[in-house]
Amino acid sequence: MNGSLEMKKKSGNKNIILIVSISVVAMFLSGYLIGGSLSSIATSSDVNTIQQQVSTTQNQNTQAEIHNITYYYNTTSLAQLYQNIKDSVVVITGYVLQYSFFGRQYSTVQGSGFIYEDKDKMVVITNKHVVSDAENITVTFSNGDGYPATVIGSDAYSDLAVLSVKAPLNEFQPLEITSSSTLQVGDPVVAIGSPFGLGGTMTTGIVSQLGRTIQDSVAGSFPIANIIQTSAAINPGNSGGPLLNYEGEVIGITTAIIQNSNGLGFAIPSNTILREIELLIETGSYDQHPWLGIAGTDMTYEIAHTIVVDVTYGWLITQITNGGAADLAGLQGGNNQMRINDGWVVTGGDIIIAVEGTRIVNGDTFMSYLEEHTMPNQTITLTILRNNQTQNISVVLKQRPSAS
């Protein structure tokens, strides 16, 4: 019995040892698993921390890169374009004599210009209104060197002027002038000039529209036709500076004669410069502007509805000049005044709806077409609406009277 009891005790001790052993192993395994889990959690936390640090570093690098961006259009760097062009743009200064209560006084006029080479002759091209009636004209280059200049040619109807500058040859860095025929609305452009006397200023924008007409006293009663409209900022002092494409070629000459234009800039197209430059240099003037001898107003839906015609586009002739090209061709002006909306309109005249088959939307379209595509003594065909009937009339253009 004692032996049996002793055996049971030993067996019980073995069981206890076994249980303890199992418990120890279980605790070890549990500790290992828990430790492993904690280690995994710690490792995951470290990875997240590292990822955050990498992400922060990447963001910092990205931010650093932003401060060193070079702006390109296709392959053109705007900064490099400016460096290539700036020495070709000049500041023009002159003095205009005025009479006032205090007697004779001189006021300062200032504008921009750019250098151009024509048949080995270096000249500066600018707007006529910049140098009109000015005395003691000087041209200052980008390096600050200034020299006396003389107007050798001008055209009021295109607001162009050409200057000869008494400067050494090494001062001249001429620009290339390219055709403006291929320009489209939306094309990017650059203007460089001296707005408010701040020389070497560069602005960018796009071609906003083509074939505009603008009015200024420099051209008398005639509009300046076939103008480029741009969103590039142009202010007083910019006048005469180049409007360029992203190849650095001149596609126009900026003009700031429209006051309070609210962000709209205008430029004489380069085709006008190319057409006139040789005559301006050789003869001092340009006299090949076509002339019809008519005045008119743009057609609208309201006008068409009031006078009961079928077209809402075109240019309504209101007045014919005696002896002018239109008068000799038999075109008819208005003979009646009608109140339409808030204004008076002269009605009864022919409505020009096409020239040489090209649709005429308004006066801008008509005058821009004549300026770009016709010459004095050229015969053109006008399509008109008269008494609600369409007719084609041949007109021999005359030469526009000289602007005094």
Catalytic member of 154, 194, 208, 239: 239
Cβ count within 10 A of residue 77 = 14
Assign 37 to helix, strand or coil: helix
Inter-residue contact 292 to 278 (CB < 8 Å): no
Amino acid at site 180: S
Residue 132's Cβ-count burial label (10 Å; 0-12, 13-18, 19+) is middle
Task: Please list the alpha-helical segments (H only) found in 330-387.
Answer: 363-373
Which CA distances in Å does 90 have to 18, 61, 113?
103, 41, 5
373 annotated active-site: no
Catalytic member of 159, 208, 289, 364: 159
Q: Which among 291, 271, 293, 294 has a CA at the least distance from the CA of 376?
A: 291
Residue at token pair 């921009």: 112
User: To 10 degrees, the CA torsion angle through 213, 217, 218, 221?
Assistant: 70
User: Phi-psi category of 339—alpha, beta or left, where left has phi over 0 and alpha has psi -120 to 50?
Assistant: beta
User: What residues are paired with 121 via a beta bridge?
Assistant: 118
| Residues in contact with 300: Cβ distance below 8 Å, sequence separation at least 6, in sequence order | 312
Q: Which among 190, 143, 139 has a CA at the least distance from the CA of 163?
A: 139
Please tell me the distance from the alpha carbon of residue 106 to that of residue 109, in angstroms, as a whole number: 10
Task: Please list the alpha-helical segments (H only) found in 118-269.
Answer: 128-131
Task: Please list the alpha-helical segments (H only) found in 158-309.
Answer: 270-283, 301-307
239 annotated active-site: yes
Catalytic member of 129, 180, 289, 368: 129
159 annotated active-site: yes
Residue at token pair 């296709």: 74
Please tell me the distance from the alpha carbon of residue 115 to that of residue 125, in angstroms, as a whole number: 6
Q: Which two tokens stand for residue 168?
A: 């050494």
Inter-residue contact 77 to 160 (CB < 8 Å): no
Active-site residues, by number, are 129, 159, 239
